[in-house]
Amino acid sequence: MRGFKNTLKPVNILPAEAEELVHRATMKILREHGVVFEDERALDLFRKAGLRVDDAEQRVFFAPEFVEQQIKKAPDRFTIHARHPGNDVLIGGDSLVFAPVSGPPFVVDREGGRRDGTLKDQNDLVRLSEVLDVMHHGCPEVACKDLPVETRHHDILYHQIRLSAKRMIGDAWSALRARDHIDMMAIVFGGRERILDRPVLTGIINSNSPLRYDSNMAEGLIEYAAAGQVNIITPFIMAGATSPVTLAAAVAQQNAECLSAIVLAETVRPGAPVMYGSFLTGLEMRTGAPAFGRPEAALGILSSAQMARRYRLPCRAGGVLTNSKLPDAQAGVEKMMMLWPILLGGVHYVLHGAGWLDGGLTASFEAMVLDAEMLEMLPRFFAGVPVDDESLALDVIAHVGAGGHFLGEEHTRRHFKTEFYFPNLADTEAFEAWAKKGSKDSFARAGERWKKLLATYQEPVLDPAIDEALRDFLARRKREIEATAD
Amino acid sequence: MRGFKNTLKPVNILPAEAEELVHRATMKILREHGVVFEDERALDLFRKAGLRVDDAEQRVFFAPEFVEQQIKKAPDRFTIHARHPGNDVLIGGDSLVFAPVSGPPFVVDREGGRRDGTLKDQNDLVRLSEVLDVMHHGCPEVACKDLPVETRHHDILYHQIRLSAKRMIGDAWSALRARDHIDMMAIVFGGRERILDRPVLTGIINSNSPLRYDSNMAEGLIEYAAAGQVNIITPFIMAGATSPVTLAAAVAQQNAECLSAIVLAETVRPGAPVMYGSFLTGLEMRTGAPAFGRPEAALGILSSAQMARRYRLPCRAGGVLTNSKLPDAQAGVEKMMMLWPILLGGVHYVLHGAGWLDGGLTASFEAMVLDAEMLEMLPRFFAGVPVDDESLALDVIAHVGAGGHFLGEEHTRRHFKTEFYFPNLADTEAFEAWAKKGSKDSFARAGERWKKLLATYQEPVLDPAIDEALRDFLARRKREIEATAD
């Protein structure tokens, strides 16, 4: 089982009364304003469940009691399964799971510069993620612009399955893609019924904020829920643009969007695994970009995670995000401004946990190893300060005496490897030794490290029969898709 | 009054039983092992207070009841005064005060490179700190190697007084230096009796760990306490070298060193203002350097602040520290790994809050503005998520409707300036615009910004009579010191 055990007690950034006010505002939005689902299957499901639907506007009005009843059906924790149980991840409880960057159109590395993503980059990112222990779940993903868009989702997942023994992030952005991905994973795991109660895929469902889901998203959600796969419901709230500028309203609106889609998933299949997702941030009013690594985003993570906790739903929030174009000081600061609220908020699942740059437009090989190093600090932090006779070491203090030193003590040798965290990239050398090497900053060192790590990659074994079945499936689907296009 | 209001509830990283065990271990060290004070004045004070002293070893054994009784005399909060009350700082309670880097032998900027500190650099750093609002207290300090060491403390403080209207960090590293600084500030404030109950100076007192204070430190402490000035008692614990490698022992030993010196201060003058200081970190076993920005340091800050809280003592801990030689990604990450525990621990005073690089060996102009930007995020974070009708904005959500946007709303215009934090250096530009400018990372942008800021500096007014009195004092002291040296 991969993932960290988060030993921090979650911080409630909203006082209890404020949390209650946000909840009530959410219910008022759901009841009086409703949410638009531009999808007939979804509207039918809601109608059959007894909800009032405005057909012309495709708007669903949610009775608060129904919302509360449905979201209670969602599990508060579940396991996402891998071929090897060692790569399973627990979502919920005190588990904290990091997945790599997903979605950028561009890739960048120090030598090659910024360019359109290709299958080669995609596969190299998967390989790099595979050798990084702290990438607990999922494969990185970039847009492979050298592949035809109609069947791109086939190639990406097929290569992920071949190259990675960790778990996959699926594609739930249309019924077609969702079904294809579910079919492919069914082949890998021996049939759809084998994965129905043992989820193996996660799909990101983004609302079209404010208060609207388009047909592709609703369809993907329905397919995933029906197949027992995980929907990560993530409204993309950019306060000031897709929600009111004030954080309280942004959280309430996000909450309404999130809960309405969770209600849909639980209506499709009671007990369907979902995550309460948040990507809440503010708009940078001077450039029109979503602003990451800011205090608003930190507060967004904390308050979103608190609302998820209220409803006993596993929480996806934040990400190790930055607007910086390079892994520079700004990137380091902004990413840590996202990471700490994740730890403090009791967030369970973090997408874009490594490799993200430039507001999500670019996946960076150097950022992947730099961010991994950031996450590698966490196990030592979570281990805390154990206090007992051995760690208090009063006999060692007495033995060394005033003015001595502890370097040669057996107690030091016994404990230093577990007491201290040893970074791979961060340096503590003397200035002179460092300068002699050509004064490399951590970005330059990361440029060397990712290549060294990539060289250690070994492809996991895939059963040839599964491989053949996958290839057959993809060939058939390709023909079908081409036929439809004609 | 300068300083942030920290709205976070302090995190107790040690469970109550663990905190109690650390306290008991501390008392056992103080009672059975004792602390060495290589200073006859200090030993006399302890003897007169009834403590057992081993004369040959200069070791003092502390009865726990006496320790508890004395530390209760220390105020849990106090104000450090400035000529202008607007620059006063409150130490304690929910106040959080940042001071700039102090002590490096070297300075660096992008253009000039790394070099020995000089009075010109020192003064430029003071000017830069003066225009940074988030530098709440004190002046940066570097070793001015172009000045004679005997009277360097005169020149540094004199120029600080001339160049800065914020408060000064004094020098308490010997009786002579402490007295000179107290005398100088007495001139500025109109007499020693005027500052006796209104502290204007802070002195850093470092133990010579393990469990030892040298004469200079003890003398400086006694002078400051007698004059009503602030002693910041800061053992320099490098776990594995100057304390046992395990954090529990490091905290207990630090606690013993800290409390013993606070007992001395309160014995000199009951009610003397002190801070419980911590600079606890681990040793990087591969290079022998103290390691900053690591999980061990984060835990050190949290557990030290918790012990200070137990004794109701204002806490100095951490610093915006890094081992990196440049303001790069490593620096950003390591500094944030120090900053968040400071916020969470309820630390009251942060020395080295901006400008520190290279394990404290170098003061950086660029790091000063980059770190200031990091701190500038905090007021927005501390403001939290206010929840009321105006911020929930249900009418605005209803007005915009599903699928609309909030950019043009009056509500957005009304709130965006306070709802969002606007950075000066961090960029969110489109990649193309950014690349056209020459692809500048945040370090390069900081290299431009510090010069622009420095150009805005204006020297505060100093009463000519005070200036003349200071000059007379310094001339006389210079003659005396030269006569002593002959």
pLDDT tens column, B291-321: 999 999 999 999 999 999 999 999 999 999 9
Secondary structure class of A119 (helix, strand, coil): helix
Residues A390-416 have pLDDT tens digits of: 999 999 999 999 989 999 999 999 999
Q: Is the pLDDT of residue B486 over 70?
A: no
User: A–B: how many Cβ contacts below 8 A?
Assistant: 405
Q: What is the pLDDT of residue A438?
A: 82
Distance CA A45, CA A286 (A): 43
Secondary structure class of B99 (helix, strand, coil): coil
Q: How would residue A139 be classed by pLDDT, with cut points 50, 70 and 90?
A: confident
Distance CA A373, CA A443 (A): 12
Residues B350-360 have pLDDT tens digits of: 999 999 999 99
Lowest mean pLDDT among A10-14, B440-444, B469-473: B440-444
**Treating both helix axes as pointing N-terminal to C-terminal, what angle do A365-376 and A329-345 enclose, rounded to 10 degrees?**
40
DSSP string, B120-171: HHHHHHHHHHHH-TT--S---B---TTS-TTTHHHHHHHHHHHH-SSPEE--
Interface test with chain B among A62, A246, A278, A416, by most B beta carbons within 10 Å: A246
Mean pLDDT of B181-197: 97
H-type helices in A269-364, by residue range?
A: 295-310, 329-345
Q: What is the pLDDT of residue A90?
A: 97
Distance CA B171, CA B149 (A): 13
**Treating both helix axes as pointing N-terminal to C-terminal, what angle do B152-163 and B175-189 enclose, rounded to 10 degrees?**
30
DSSP 8-state assignment for residue A48: H
Q: Is the pLDDT of residue B16 over 70?
A: yes
CB < 8 Å from B in window 353-372 of A: 358-359, 361-362, 370
The distance of B118 to chain A (nearest Cα, Å) reads 19
Q: Is A159 buried (19+), middle (13-18) or exposed (0-12) by CB count in 10 A?
A: middle
Residue in B303, B340, B377 nearest the CB of A295: B377
Nearest CA in chain A to B242: A405
Q: What is the pLDDT of residue A84?
A: 85
Q: What is the pLDDT of residue B464?
A: 97
Interface test with chain B among A43, A357, A390, A420, by most B beta carbons within 10 Å: A420
Distance CA B340, CA B374 (A): 11
Residues A470-486 have pLDDT tens digits of: 999 999 999 999 998 76
Mean pLDDT of B416-423: 94
**Strand partners of residue A282:** A239, A291
**Residue (of B338, B345, B386) closest to B360 by Cα position:** B338
Q: Which residue has the tokens 């007084």?
A: B161
How many other C-beta atoms lie within 10 A of the C-beta of residue A308?
25
Q: Is the pLDDT of residue B437 over 90?
A: no
Mean pLDDT of chain B: 96
Query: Which carries the bigger pLDDT value, residue A333 or residue A236?
Result: A333
Residues A247-271 have pLDDT tens digits of: 999 999 999 999 999 999 999 999 9
State what percent of residues in chain B have pLDDT above 70. 100
Q: What is the pLDDT of residue B170?
A: 79
Q: Is the pLDDT of residue A457 over 70?
A: yes
Q: Is the pLDDT of residue B90 over 70?
A: yes
Q: Is the pTM of this model over 0.90?
A: yes
Q: What six digits make up the tokens of B167?
A: 């408060």
State what percent of residues in chain A have pLDDT above 90. 92
H-type helices in A311-455, by residue range?
A: 329-345, 365-376, 378-383, 389-392, 394-400, 410-419, 431-436, 442-455
In this complex, do A245 and B411 lie within 8 Å of one another by their Cβ atoms?
yes
Q: What is the pLDDT of residue A486?
A: 65
Q: Is the pLDDT of residue A142 over 70?
A: yes
Q: How would residue A85 be classed by pLDDT, with cut points 50, 70 and 90?
A: confident
Query: Which carries the bigger pLDDT value, residue B166 or residue A247?
Result: A247
Residues contacting residue B21 through CB under 8 Å, at least 6 positions apart: A387, A388, A392, B248
Q: Is the pLDDT of residue A18 over 80?
A: yes
Q: How would residue A345 be classed by pLDDT, with cut points 50, 70 and 90?
A: very high
**Strand partners of residue A362:** A106, A357
Is A89 within 8 Å of A137 (Cβ atoms)?
yes
H-type helices in A29-107, by residue range?
A: 40-48, 64-71
* Ranges of each domain in chain B: 4-14+71-377, 383-419
Name the CATH code of domain B4-14+71-377 (choices 3.40.630.40, 3.40.50.2300, 3.20.20.480, 3.30.342.10): 3.20.20.480
Length of chain A: 486
